[in-house]
Amino acid sequence: MTALYFEDFTPGRSFTAPRCSLSEAQILDFAFTYDPQPFHIDTTCLDNPYGGLIASGFQTLLVAFRMFYQANVINHCSMGSPGMDELRWLRPVRPGDTLGLTAEVVEQRASRSKPDRGIVVMKYRVDNQHGETVMTYNITHMFRCRTV
C-alpha cells in the first residue's frame, strides 16, 4: 500500500488487517509481565468468571494496534494520536482465538492551528474467528497533509 495522507481518510472508508492468532504461551507471557490477574495466568483454574484462561484486554488492544500497523495504514504520514475513546471489551479472548480487525473512518477535519496535518477519527472493531465482536474503540489520529 502506498503512503496514506490525511486526504486519503474520507468518512466511510474502511480498512481491514491480516488476522492474528493468540497462543496460550503468548497470553501467559504478557499476563505474567503486565497483567497478572488469576484469570490471565492460571491455566488450571476453571472457577473464575470466564471459565478458563483469557487474554488481558490490554494485550488484545496492543495486538489489534500491531495488526493495524502491519496493514500499512499507519506509516510515515502518521503524526501520533491525542487519545482513544469508548474502549469496550465485549467478549473474552481465549488461547487459540484468531482475531480480525476492521477500522472505519467516521470523521475527518483539517487542523485549525497546524495546516500541515489533519485529524481523523476511526472506529475500530475486533472480531474472533466465530465473527463475534470482542472489542471496540475509537482513536483520534493525526496525519500529515499531502499538500500544505
83: domain CATH number is 3.10.129.10
Any domain includes 1 = no
* Residue 118 to residue 138: CA distance in whole angstroms: 16
Specify the number of domains making up the chain: 1
Q: What distance lies between CA 37 and its chain's CA centroid?
A: 22
Instruction: Report pLDDT for 45.
Output: 74
Q: Grid cell 500499512 — which residue?
A: 72
Domain extent for 43:
6-144
User: Nine-digit cell at 38?
Assistant: 488469576
For 51, list phi and psi in degrees, rounded to 5.
70, 20
Instruction: Report pLDDT for 91.
Output: 97
* Residue 66 to residue 45: CA distance in whole angstroms: 30
Instruction: Report pLDDT for 144.
Output: 94
Instruction: Report pLDDT for 42.
Output: 83
Beta bridge partners of 84: 139
pLDDT in tens, the chain (148 residues): 578 999 999 999 999 999 999 999 999 999 999 988 888 888 787 778 888 899 999 999 999 999 999 998 888 899 999 999 999 999 999 999 999 999 999 999 999 999 999 999 999 999 999 999 999 999 999 999 997 6
Instruction: Report pLDDT for 148.
Output: 63
Beta bridge partners of 136: 88, 125
Q: Grid cell 500497523 — which residue?
A: 69
Q: What angle do CA 15, 9, 122 make, to 5 degrees?
A: 60
